[in-house]
Amino acid sequence: MFTRVLVANRGEIAVRVMRTCREMGIETVAVYSDADTRALHVTLADRAVRIGGAAPSESYLSHGALLDAARATGAQAIHPGYGFLSENAEFADACRDAGVVFIGPSSAAMAKVGSKTAARQLAEAAGVPVVPGAIPADQSDAAVAEAARRVGLPVLLKPSEGGGGIGMKAVHDAAELPAAIAQARREAEAAFGDGTLYVERLVARPRHVEFQILGDRHGSVIHLFERECSIQRRHQKVLEETPSTAVTPALRARMGAAAVALAQAAGYENAGTVEFLVEGSGDGAAFYFLEMNARLQVEHPITEAVTGVDLVRAQLGIAAGERLPWTQADLSQSGHAIEVRICAEDPGQNFLPQAGVLALYREPSMPRLRVDSGVSEGAEVSVHYDSLLAKLVARGETREAARLRARRALDQFPILGIRTNVPLLGRLLTHPRFIAGDLDTHFLATEAGSLLPAPPAPPPDVLAVAEALAHAPTAGPGAAPPGADPWASLKRARV
């Protein structure tokens, strides 16, 4: 096993990877940009190396700076987390050439599943059903528009190299095509450095259900069951749970076998996720391969919660050449887990990301609750990175127990100073359709009316607290929370 691992990421995922490394007695190396000099992931590592400016291209995306940091600290392996360089085959090769182990799939497997064209062909060859669609060989705007008409509107335009919903555009009307193609292409180029677009038929009322897989270097591939991720905004996941209310044992067996077949066809090693769209529910439901994510997912903790497997530990073992310690028969799902993503965004303004200082930030703590976060009180949320602050994962014997625990935890998760989606998540967890498990990927858009109520007049008890704050001395309780910059409060005290 490695004795020193560099984590080429920031925020909650860097913190989470380091936690397992510490448990295993592996030293950790953090890297940071100028915007993250005092970030949580930096303070928790054994060593920390500055890699460049705040813009991701100057730091967390810089192959050279990361490999220099690995060399300078003697790290034997690099864990890429998710996003940034986690699915970059060139970086995986650069690591190998530098004699550093990349903790993830080989660049060859990454190339097979990372591009939607290649992944789709792979799925078809492996007998896994796919959604009707095409990657136009001619990528001119006119040819992409023609492909969309051939596939049949409504369609979804997706970056061929993408993930996380970035750059995806739904088009319902042929007249919208030129503008949508131009925007999708530009976003794809900005986010992934490749403007190649993929056109896919839009499935009505789909559920997003994905399977976690693990493969080792010795040819074994297993799956760790499903994650239901239908609650999304702008094609980005907001709440995930396992098991899915749509998946029966027979459907689970079919989908799990398809996920494993796909990973085997790709010669896939390490942790990965096979995403499916599900139409309908129960034994007769149809499922279509969507894409494979060649990385650890944001929502991996719910799988850990119901299987008892530490996925980062499994990743480290696989990368070190070990055999998977489980067969499929060894694994089972126990209980239910729900994750909600706490994001710095304003749901009342179409989920506009928010930047600023976390003037007050207190995480809840209770049995069978896990909070993975990359921030602390007083931290500044920068405009340079994504808006995910923390993930709250609640476990229960039943779905209802997990739901009630998650709701209760959100009631004890005050984040003040910038807007977050905490109130929205709380309402979501008590929505009748969510309680009934009646989900599809349009849930948030369809139910926005009841989830995004117009702000009511503040109730008397809230106004009374505001009044108490107004009368408190400026430097008194609540005015300068611990962790806030002392100079900032000094300035306020003078005003």
Is residue 322 close enough to count as binding other proteins by CB under 8 A?
Answer: no
Is residue 352 close enough to count as binding other proteins by CB under 8 A?
Answer: yes
Is residue 356 close enough to count as binding other proteins by CB under 8 A?
Answer: yes
Among 142, 190, 435, 493, binds other proteins (CB under 8 A): 190
Amino acid at 452: L
Cβ atoms 165, 235 nearer than 8 A: yes
Is residue 108 close enough to count as binding other proteins by CB under 8 A?
Answer: no
Is residue 357 close enough to count as binding other proteins by CB under 8 A?
Answer: yes
Is residue 82 close enough to count as binding other proteins by CB under 8 A?
Answer: no
In the region spanning residues 371 to 390, those forming contacts with other proteins, defined by CB under 8 A, are 383-387
CA pair distance 149, 201, nearest whole angstrom: 10
Nearest in space to 82 (alpha carbons), one of 177, 154, 10, 133:
10
Report the chain's terminal Cα–Cα distance, integer Å.
56
**Stretch touching other proteins by CB under 8 A, among 4-12, 281-289, 444-452, 467-475:** 467-475
Is residue 435 close enough to count as binding other proteins by CB under 8 A?
Answer: no
Tell me 57's DSSP state: G
Q: HEC profile for 360-389?
A: EECCCCCCCEEEEECCCCCCEECCCCCCEE
Is residue 422 close enough to count as binding other proteins by CB under 8 A?
Answer: yes
Among 284, 470, 487, 495, binds other proteins (CB under 8 A): 470
Contacting residues for 349 by C-beta, under 8 A, at least 6 apart: none
Is residue 360 close enough to count as binding other proteins by CB under 8 A?
Answer: yes
Is residue 359 close enough to count as binding other proteins by CB under 8 A?
Answer: yes
Instruction: Dig out the tokens for 226 from the structure.
Output: 């499903």
Among 467, 485, 491, 493, binds other proteins (CB under 8 A): 467
Cβ atoms 448, 238 nearer than 8 A: no
Query: Nearest distance from residue 2's CB to other proteins, in Å?
Result: 31
The H or E element containing residue 446 is helix 443-446
**Stretch touching other proteins by CB under 8 A, among 68-76, 199-207, 304-312, 411-419:** 411-419
Taken in order 38, 39, 42, 44, the sign of the CA dihedral is positive
Among 286, 463, 490, 493, binds other proteins (CB under 8 A): 463
By C-beta, is 58 or 93 nearer to other proteins? 58
Is residue 419 close enough to count as binding other proteins by CB under 8 A?
Answer: yes
Among 72, 458, 485, 490, binds other proteins (CB under 8 A): 458
Is residue 464 close enough to count as binding other proteins by CB under 8 A?
Answer: yes
Among 14, 151, 418, 428, binds other proteins (CB under 8 A): 418
Is residue 142 close enough to count as binding other proteins by CB under 8 A?
Answer: no
Query: Nearest distance from residue 471's CB to other proteins, in Å?
Result: 10
Query: Nearest distance from residue 318's CB to other proteins, in Å?
Result: 29
Among 420, 428, 440, 451, binds other proteins (CB under 8 A): 420
- Number of shown-chain residues binding other proteins (CB under 8 A): 60
Cβ atoms 141, 124 nearer than 8 A: no
Q: 290: number of CA atoms within 13 Å, CB side?
A: 28
CA pair distance 362, 212, nearest whole angstrom: 31
Among 415, 428, 439, 444, binds other proteins (CB under 8 A): 415
Instruction: Dig out the tokens for 86 from the structure.
Output: 């986690």
Instruction: Dig out the tokens for 79 from the structure.
Output: 């864990």
Contacting residues for 43 by C-beta, under 8 A, at least 6 apart: none
Q: How many CB atoms lie within 10 A of CB 115?
A: 21
Query: Nearest distance from residue 30's CB to other proteins, in Å?
Result: 21
Is residue 434 close enough to count as binding other proteins by CB under 8 A?
Answer: no
Query: Nearest distance from residue 13's CB to other proteins, in Å?
Result: 15
* Exposure string for 41-58, b = 16+ CB within 10 A, e = fewer: bbebbebbbbbbeeebee
Burial of 188 (0-12, 13-18, 19+ CB in 10 A): buried
Query: Nearest distance from residue 460's CB to other proteins, in Å?
Result: 5
Query: Nearest distance from residue 145's CB to other proteins, in Å?
Result: 18
**Stretch touching other proteins by CB under 8 A, among 4-12, 184-192, 319-327, 367-375:** 184-192
Q: What are the distances in angstroms from CA 214 to CA 55, 146, 260, 467?
A: 33, 39, 9, 55
| 3-class DSSP state of 454 | coil
Instruction: Dig out the tokens for 84 from the structure.
Output: 């940034």
Is residue 354 close enough to count as binding other proteins by CB under 8 A?
Answer: yes
Query: Nearest distance from residue 411's CB to other proteins, in Å?
Result: 4
Nearest in space to 19 (alpha carbons), one of 43, 44, 54:
44
Q: Given the rule CB under 8 A, which residues bind other proteins?
A: 166, 179, 183, 186-187, 190-191, 234, 344, 346, 349, 352-357, 359-360, 362, 383-387, 407, 410-411, 413-420, 422-423, 426, 455, 458, 460-470, 472, 474, 476-479, 481-482
